[in-house]
Amino acid sequence: MEKEIYLKKYLELYLEDMDMETRARQKTKIVMDYQHKLEEEGWILYPMEGGCVSPDRSTIFYSFREPYVGQLYPWLDNPGNEFQTLVKQMIASGDFVYASLS
């Protein structure tokens, strides 16, 4: 089973027991707040793709493309070491975690 890379606050909220409407509002706020943080750090918003792409174009953070919301993915078909390096940094910062919700 492959693990995805989730925004930690998003994942924690996903696992909490609450009504769907409250969860949806809070998830949107968490994800959009993080998107704005990334944009301030130089990430580029691509609305057609549903998220922000890293300055080196190796990684995308999906902020509004289901079912990938709150996740990091490689932006290029073969992102090389840049993607892995960026993921390691973001996990080390405590902002992201590996998880499998399938």
Phi and psi at residue 54, in whole multiples of 5°?
Answer: -65, 155
What is d(CA 85, CA 66) in angstroms, rounded to the nearest whole number?
25
Local confidence band at 102 (pLDDT 50, 70, 90 cut-offs):
low
Closest CA to 50 of 67, 36, 32, 63: 63
What pLDDT, on a 0 to 100 scale, did the predictor assign at position 14? 80
* Residue with more model confidence, 15 or 72: 72
- Count how many domains the chain has: 1
Tokens 């289901």, located at residue: 66
Find the domain containing 21 and state its range. Answer: 4-99
Whole-structure pTM value: 0.91
For the chain, percent of residues with pLDDT exceeding 90: 80
Closest CA to 57 of 33, 91, 80: 80
